[in-house]
């Protein structure tokens, strides 16, 4: 398995039988920019481009950026396949709250200043690839697609790891709405069991 982002981009592009020109055209960059992404020590693609690259090459973000999993674990396709600050910030808040971390704790984990972390969660800044990779490694069970695109891989979800869509739509209140909805469903099922008689 290729050990660097540059090598994974190149390997996935070649495996798909595509040219650097096609990759550059899809990502709306020059051919030399796409060439730099495949060079050791070259520039890395921006966070806005990573989702487009992964979708175009038919690989998961976890594999492309982190080298974990397999290249064939495709994304659930959607109309939205590019980075959005709102989705990232909501995913970040959800992961922090689910793991009961403070903003200071997560700033130390990434590692960034507390002010930088707050700007990420407030949708005022985009994460770098290094920050995103550190974040994804810390929350090992949460796929990178969740933070970048608000999506989960089509495979690999377990009953507890099915990430709620409500967490990526709207504000942090979406989490409590999701929990309340689940609690109401449990109450309805319990009520049906109490009233049912054979």
Q: What is the pLDDT of residue 101?
A: 92
Least confident of 9-23, 94-108, 160-174: 160-174
Domain 5-66 in this protein, CATH class: mainly alpha
Gyration radius of the chain's alpha carbons: 19
The pLDDT value recorded for residue 165 is: 45
pLDDT one-digit tens code per residue, 23-81: 999 889 999 999 999 999 889 898 888 888 888 888 888 888 888 777 765 444 444 45
Looking at per-residue confidence, does 133 or 162 come out higher?
A: 133
Query: What's the predicted TM-score (pTM) here?
Result: 0.62
Nearest to 147 by CA among 159, 158, 124, 131: 131
**pLDDT above 90 for 102:** yes
Burial (CB count within 10 angstroms: exposed 0-12, middle 13-18, buried 19+), residue 190 = exposed
The confidence band for 185, taking pLDDT boundaries of 50, 70 and 90, is: low
- Tell me the mean pLDDT in the region 147-155: 62
pLDDT of residue 145: 78
Which H, E and C letters describe 20-57, residue by residue? HHHHHHHHCCCHHHHHHHCCCCCCCCCHHHHHHHHHHH
């Amino acid at each position: 398995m290729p050990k660097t982002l540059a090598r994974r981009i190149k390997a996935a592009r070649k495996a798909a039988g595509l040219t650097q020109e096609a990759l550059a055209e899809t990502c709306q960059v020059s051919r030399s920019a796409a060439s730099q992404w495949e060079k050791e020590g070259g520039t890395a693609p921006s966070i806005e481009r990573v989702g487009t690259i992964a979708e175009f090459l038919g690989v998961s973000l976890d594999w492309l950026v982190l080298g974990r999993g397999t290249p064939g674990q495709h994304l659930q396709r959607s109309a939205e396949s590019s980075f959005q600050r709102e989705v990232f910030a909501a995913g970040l808040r959800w992961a922090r709250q689910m793991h009961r971390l403070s903003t200071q704790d997560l700033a130390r984990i990434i590692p960034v200043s507390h002010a930088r972390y707050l700007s990420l969660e407030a949708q005022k800044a985009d994460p770098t690839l290094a920050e995103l990779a550190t974040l994804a490694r810390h929350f090992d069970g949460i796929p990178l697609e969740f933070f970048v695109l608000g999506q989960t891989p089509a495979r690999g979800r377990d009953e507890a790891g099915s990430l709620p869509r409500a967490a990526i739509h709207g504000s942090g209140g979406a989490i409590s709405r999701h929990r309340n909805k689940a609690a109401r469903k449990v109450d309805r099922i319990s009520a049906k069991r109490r009233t049912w008689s054979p």
